[in-house]
Structure 1
Amino acid sequence: MTAEAGCRAALYLRLSRDDTGRAGESESIANQRRLLHDYALRQGWPVVAEYADDGVSGTTFDRPQFQKMLCEIPQRGINLILIKDLSRLGRDYLETGRYLERYFPEHGVRVVAVGDAVDTAHEDIFLPMRNYINELYARDTSGKIRAALQTKMKDGRFIGHYAPYGYRRDPQERGRLVPDQAAAAVVRQLFAGAAGGAAPSVLAARLNAQGEAPPSVYRGSAPRGEWTAGTVRRILQNEVYLGTLIQGKTRKPSFKSGKVRRTAPEEQFVVPHCHEALVSQAVFEQVQQQSRSRRISRSAGFVNVFTGIAFCADCGRAMSTVGTRRKGSRADLACGGYKQHGRRTCTRHGTNYEALEAAVLDVLHRHLALTEREKSELRKRLMHSLCSPEREDAHGLRRSLSRTEDTIAALYLDRATGRLAEDSFYAALHRLEEQAAALRRRLDMRETELPDAARLESVIDECCCPERLTRELVRAFVRRIEVEEGTGRGAARRQNIRISLHFEQNEIAKTIAYE
C-alpha cells in the first residue's frame, strides 16, 4: 500500500511494570513495538519516531517519554500516533479524554489504537466509555494492591523500598529484616554514645572523623555526603531498632494523585517483635530521656524571640537554641550550620541568650526613648482620642446588646407557636446572632480601654522603654541580627553583633561580654 501524503507516524509504547523474566526491555514492550511496526508497514505509514515508557503507571501523564513526544510533535512534524490500545495512552479517564478530544486535534495529530480499532480521524461515540473502563481497571488494581500491602503491614512484613540503616532484607524470607553487621555496629555505637550524654552533633562529628559512610551513601542512593545531627537524631528516635515495625505513615489521597499525606498514629500499622532488635528497651528509653533533658522545654515558658531574626555572620544560617550548663541561663544560641554539620560547615558562634537579649534591649531603649515633652504631647492625643464624643459609649453598646438578645428570645417563641416558618427562623437567627457577637466584641474593647492618666503613662512607658523583649516587639522593630564568632575565654569573652532596625538604614554594631 502506498504511503499517505505527508504522513509522519510515531509509535508510543508503555508498560506499567518491568518484565522480571527478561533483562533490559520488557517482553511486552517488544511485542508492542513489533505489532505497531507491522501495522504501520501494512498501512504504508512511515515511522519517524518511537517513544517507550517501560515501568510507568498509566494513571499519570508525567512520563519522561510521553512528555518528550509532546515536545517533539511540532519539531519533527509528527501528525500520527500509533498505540497498541487506549490503555497504553493512559488510564486516567479525564486526562486521556482531554488529550484525545482536545490536545491532539488542536495540534493536528491523529491517534490510532490498533487493538481497540479506534481512529480519531473518525468519530467514535463510545470513546469516553472505553477511557472510563480503562480507569476502572486501574482503580480496581490500585485497591487490590493497597489491600495486599495492608495485609503485609498487619503481619509485620517490611514493604519499604530501602531497609532501615542497620538492617538488610533477609534473602531467605521475603519481607523480613536481618541485621547488617557493619551498619548495625554503627547504630549500636550511636545509641551507646547518646546514652552516655553525647549530643547528636558530637556523634555525627565522630562518625565523620572515622570515615563512616552516612545512610544515603551506604545504601548507594547518593554519591557522597556526611553524617549530620539530624540524621543521627532520626536514628536515635526510630523504634525499628527495638524490633518494632511502624508502617503506613503516609497515604495517597487518590490512586491518581502523586502527593502523599501524613496519617494519624491510630491509622499506622505498629507491629512489635518483627525482627532482631539492635538495642535494648532500657538503652532506648535512656536515650530518649537524654534527648528530652537537652531539649529546651516550651512548657517551661521559654520562647526564643530571635527565631528568624538572628543569623550567623559568616555562613548566614539561622542561629539555633542549644542547651547550656550556665547556672541561671535559659539557653545559648549557636550557628545552625555548625549544629547540623559540625566544623566542616562553620564554627559554633555560640552566644549567651541573656547577653544578646540585653544588648538588643539596650539598642531599642536608645532608639525608642521619648523626651518628657514628647510623652506629654502623646498623652494628650491619646486622651483626646479615647474621650472623643465620636467613640461608642459602653452604656449604649450594652443597651443595644440587650435589645438584640430580647429579639432572639422572641424569635424562638414565634417559632414554637408556629408564627414563624423554619427557614425564616434560621435566616433571622443567624443574622441576629452575628449582630450580638459583633456588639459583644465592641463592648469588650470599649470596657478594657481605661482613659486615665496613670494607665496611659504605664502604656507609654511599656512601649518607649520596655523592661523585657517579646517576640512581637523584636519583629516590630528589628529586621536582622548577625552574630560573629566570639573571642577570648571566661571574663574576657567578647562577641561582636550587628543589629539592623526597620527604621534605620545603617547597621548598629555592638560588642557583648559574658562569661
Structure 2
Amino acid sequence: MVVRASKGIEAPVRQKVALYIRVSSEEQAVSGFGLDVQRERLTAFAKSQGWDDVELYMDDGYTGTNTNRPALKRLIRHVEAGKIHTVVVYKLDRLGRKQKDVLELLEDVFEKNGVAFKSATEPFDTSTPLGKAMLGILAVFGQLERDMIIERTTSGRRERVNQGMWHGGRIPFGYHWNKEAKELEIKPDEAAIIREIYKRFLQGQSRLAIAEWAQSRTTARKMTHTDIRDILVRPLYAGKLLNAGLIVEGNHDAIIDEDTWNMVQAENVRRKEGATPVGEYLLTGLLQCGICGGPVVHVKRRTKRNGKDYLYELYACQKQHIRTKDRAASCKNKYHNRAKVEAFVIEDIRNLSLLDPKRLDAILEQQTNTQDSTDTRNALQHRLETIETGIENLYDAIQSGAVKASALGNRITRLEEERESVQLQLDDLDDAPEIKNTAAARKMLQDLHKMWDFLTEEEQKQLIRKVVTRVVLHSDSSPEIVLNLAK
C-alpha cells in the first residue's frame, strides 16, 4: 500500500520490516543452524505475513553476549529514526544471550519507538503482560544455553590439549594431519623452511626479509610479515601446545629444538622493530593512497643515531609497507610524516573558512560537482574487508595457540572499533542526501576554524569526519582533501 501525502501535509517516512539474523562461530559449530537457515526461515515468514518491504540485518560471527554488533547498531539507529515498524528474529536468543540486554532492547528501543517484535519460531505477543513475562523467561533460558555451549566447547578443547592433542583448526605450516592416527605429522619440505626461518631470525634478518625468502620457497601458503611473526612465537614448533596461557607438552614431533625456540623468544623481546598499530588517529579511515587507491596505515619507526633513540610516526600505503616477494607488484608511494600530513589538512581546511565567501562557494561548488561518492564507497568497503581479514587472522592466531587471547585483546578491540567507524561512514553515504547549496558546508568549515583549538582529541576526530570525506596521499605533491558535502 502506497501512502500519499495530503496537500500541505508531509508524507511519513516509509517503514520497513527488519529481519535480524546472527550466528557466532561457536554456535555455528555446535547448534548447526547457520545464517542461510535463518535467512530462508525469516524470508518465508515475512512472505506468510504479507510483508514485501523488508531489510536484512546480518551479524556474521558475532557473539550474543553483548550488543556491540555492527548490524544490530545499524538496526537500532534505523528504529530510532522511525524507519522500522517490525523486527523479526529466528529465535529470541539471536537478539542476545543476556537477559538484561534482550529486555533493554525490547523495552528501551523497540517498545519505546512503537516497533513490534516477533520471533519466527516462538509464539508470543509483546503487547500483553503474559507475553512480556514469556519473553523474560525465554531470555533467561537463552543465556543459560549460551553458557552451556561455551562450557562444553572450552572444557572439551582444554582437556584435549592437556592430553597433548592438537585442538584443531587450520593445519600449521610444517605439518599435515594424519586422519587415521589423528595427530600432526611433520612435512619434511615445509619443516626445512621452518628451521631456516628460525635460523635467519637469529642471524639478525628482519621478519619482512624472511617472509620474502620463505615465499620464494613455497607456493603452499602465503608468507607475510605477520605469518613469520606468528611462526616465530608458536610453541607448537617446539613440540608443545598453549592451553589457557600455559605451555604443555604435545604428542606431536617438534621441528625446532627447545633451546632454539627459547633463544628466538628472547630475540623477540630484544628487538624493537616498528609496529603498525591500527589506532584511532586523527585521519584513521580517511586516508587513501593516491597511486594504487588502497588503504593507508599508521607506522612507527624507531632508529638510533649518535647514541640516541628516535621515534618516527608515519602514514604509508598498506601495499607499500607490507610488501610481498614480488616488489614489482608493490605500490610505489612513499612514507609520509604523520604530523606534517595532519597539520597540512587542518591548516588547509581552516584557511578555506577565511576565504572570501564567493571564492569559498566556488570551491565548494566545484567539490560538489566533482565528488564521486562511488569511489568513496569503494574505498571504505575495501578498508572494511581489510579490517575483517585482520580480525579473522587474530582469532586464528588465538585458536592455533600461537599467542594468548589476552595479548591480542586490545588489538581486536581497536579493529572492531575501526570496523564500526567505517561501517558508520558507509551508512552515512547511504542515508545522507547531497547538499543543493553550499551554505551548510560553509558553516561546517567556519565552525571548525572557530572551535578547533578548544576541542579534545576525540572531538577533533569527530569534527574532521564531518568536514572531510577522504584525504588522498600523493608521492610527489601535497595531500588532496575531498570535503564531505553531505548533510
TM score, norm. by length of structure 1 = 0.43
Instruction: Answer 1 or 2: higher relative contact order, Cα 8 Å, separation at least 6.
Output: 2
Larger radius of gyration: 1
TM score, norm. by length of structure 2 = 0.45
